[in-house]
Chains A and B, each alone.
Chain A
Amino acid sequence: MDKIKCECGHVNPEGTVLCEACGKPIEKNQHIDGNDKRKLLNMRYDGSARRSLTYNKTIIDKIWSFFSSVKVGIWLIVLALIASAIGTIFPQEIYIPADAVSRDPAIFYEDRYGILGKIYYELGFHNLYSSWWYLLLIALIGVSLVICSLDRVVPLYKALKMQRPKRHETFVTRQRLFSKTEAVSTDEVNSVKDSLQKQGYKIREEDGHIVAEKGRFSRWGPYVNHIGLIIILLAAILRQTPLFFLDEYVWVREGEQTVIPGTDGEYYVKNKKFTLETHDENDERFKEAIEKQGEVVSNYQTDVIVYKAEESEVTGAEPKLTKVKEEDIRMNKPLKFDGYALYQAGYQLNEFSEMSFIIHDIDDEQKKPLAKFTVDELLDPQSSYELDNGFRVEIEHYYPDYVLEDGEPRSESKYPKNPAFVFAVYPPDSEASEISFIGIGRNIDPTGENNYKISIDGFDTRDVSGLTVRRDYTLPFFIIGAVIFMIGVIQGMYWQHRRVWIHPKEEGILLAAHTNKNWFGIQKDIKKAIAGTTINMVVDQQKLHE
């Protein structure tokens, strides 16, 4: 097969539907765009040769033409859409509730959702969004996007660059907007030309044939848009690598210093203080919310110091720390250091850190202390306390987060949010002990025979800050991709590629026009241009046919 030489002299690549230069339909290729069945020309891609439709020799060409099909692209998108939707029917594996009888996905889905759940699990939908086939589907959409775009933008660019003002008559007569005027003077043609020029059209002439064109760059909109999408997809791939993206969470108690996860032990953070502030209860702006909720928080803040560990000489030895930064972290005001960012993400208020007690005579109204002791780390308390005056206290039971459940005392978590103790008090020189139960707002003598009583003397609390550790080098790529995407959308949406052809014929002219969208707009342009002349207004031939 050879290149196709048109009667105008232009040599077109194989597969061309409309001659790139003069627009004459190329006889043997009319089936490609379906022109053989219709009166009007299909102007898709200006009749240029989509190379994939023609060459199919090597395996590379076959793969290429498969992905360059828009039909294939749309099917991939539809499949991804259906799969994504199915993934939302039952919860994903990571969202299996903690109180489920069994969190093993092999059991959970069937147990809770029956046979449908079992099918769901067996087909791997419980882990859909990170499954290899789902990712492959998304990746294939990306491949299709790249190849579809390349396969169309190059020939379209060439065709629009090659186009000549002098078009073949069939090209002109088979346009959607067309009119024929029997007798037209040169002045009239010139006035149309001037008017079109004033309306922003670029005029080119050849042997009295005229093409007026504007807004060609709008044709590149979809491709610019695709470039944006491809950048976004690439950014999503980069986000998979820990080098570009890291997301961790760490709880730090006030006064505590801990290694920042995800930094390979390189950085440490110390929580100096957590602050929770609320809006003034009389603040008019939040009147309704305050009425509803009682208070409205105005600030969550953690004051931290970030340290960097120096390479320690002996492995296992405590690293030497140097201060990197000392700053306040507030909501949406992260602390940034060396590419990492620490965000204020959570908090727990008033966790008990230590508690002190006194022992006094049970009948003593004045509560004169006979002995004092302090339980100084409520996360991990020591069990036995030797006191002055010969008293000894043992912690029989400890409930850091006390609740009473079915008459049984127990702890809900390991955090000392509501500490309660069962103490055994050994009075001086006595082997027999007395049992007391002490908690916040509770002080019980279970036997009723105690001689001594323990009372809470004071306590200290601390807050806990939840910090998100993030490093994200992909964000700029997402932003660039999104901006390019948007530019492409605007380019394609708000401008139209309009062309008007004037084709002299004997005494008169043939007038034809094409636009990629907004046919009303181009008709308005033409109406304005031919005003005051005898040239016939173009007729929408598609409407005539309907």
Chain B
Amino acid sequence: MSLEKRKAKKSKKKRNRFIFRSIILAVLVGAVVFALVSNSQKDKTIYKVGDQAPDFKLEQINENNELESIQLSDLEGKGVMLNFWATYCEPCEAEMPYMQKLYPEYHNQGIEIVAVSLDGGQLVIDRFIDKYDLTFPVMHDSKGQVSDLYKVGPIPSTFFINPEGEIVEIVEGALTLERLESYFQQVLPE
């Protein structure tokens, strides 16, 4: 074999090796990227702080409140406390008086409370409203669509939404009066 031939053969082999390794690495990197991307997209349905709060519309059932129905997007410009609760849930019941206590004052300043009940029937909700003299809007998520949209797990679960419609804070579990007030301050319109 002449020197040129050997050199040519060697460089050809080198090129083949380079191509082979590049292809294998590209395939592996592709698989890894695919795995990571598809995993991160799985969580995309869960809304996080900083996300735009998804819109929904439900009938308003509290007779002490003049609204007939609530569509979240109509509340733009107001700070919103979106509260998921139920009559049978004790911590939910515990925070309701605080919400009612702060509501009249903060409602005048541009805060709206949207309380979505996960109860089975409207009767128990009506009685609950009477018991605590609630005046803020209350909705019944009878088909569980809204709680499904927000991927609500155990209740109470509360989303504080700023006037731009962005989720500012997500609170899992009951609120104290002080914390509730500080969250209201956070989403207060200018």
Chain A residues with a Cβ under 8 A of chain B: 51, 55, 58, 60-61, 63-64, 98, 100-104, 130, 132, 135-136, 139-140, 142-143, 146-147, 150, 234, 237, 240-241, 377, 379-383, 395-398, 400-401, 410-416
Contact = CB atoms under 8 A, between A and B. Distances in A.
Contacts of B22: 60
Given A100-B173, A132-B39, A61 B86 contact: no
A380 B28 contact: no
B24 A146 contact: yes
B68 interface: no
A100 B88 CA distance: 17
Given A136-B36, A411-B87, 19 more contacts: A61-B18, A98-B154, A104-B170, A130-B43, A132-B39, A132-B40, A135-B39, A142-B31, A146-B28, A237-B34, A237-B35, A380-B142, A383-B123, A398-B121, A398-B124, A400-B88, A412-B88, A413-B88, A414-B119
Given A143-B32, A146-B24, A380 B39 contact: no
B21 A60 contact: yes
Contact of A63 (B25, B120, B142, B173): B25
B17 interface: yes
Contacts of B172: 102-104
Contacts of A61: 18, 21
A147 B154 contact: no
Given A146-B24, A396-B127, A400-B120, A240 B42 contact: yes
Interface of B: 17-18, 21-22, 24-25, 28, 31-32, 34-36, 38-40, 42-43, 86-88, 90, 118-124, 126-127, 142, 153-154, 170-174
B108 to A, nearest CB: 29
17 contacts: A61-B18, A61-B21, A98-B153, A100-B173, A132-B40, A135-B35, A136-B36, A139-B31, A143-B32, A146-B28, A150-B24, A234-B31, A237-B35, A377-B121, A380-B120, A381-B123, A414-B88
Contacts of A146: 24, 28
B171 A414 contact: no
Contacts of B122: 380
The 5 A-B residue pairs whose C-beta atoms are closest, nearest first, are A380-B121, A103-B172, A414-B120, A102-B173, A139-B32
Nearest to B175: A102
B124 A411 contact: yes
A260 B27 CA distance: 37
A51 B17 contact: yes
Contacts of B34: 237
Given A58-B18, A63-B25, A237 B31 contact: yes
Contacts of A132: 36, 39-40
A209 to B, nearest CB: 28
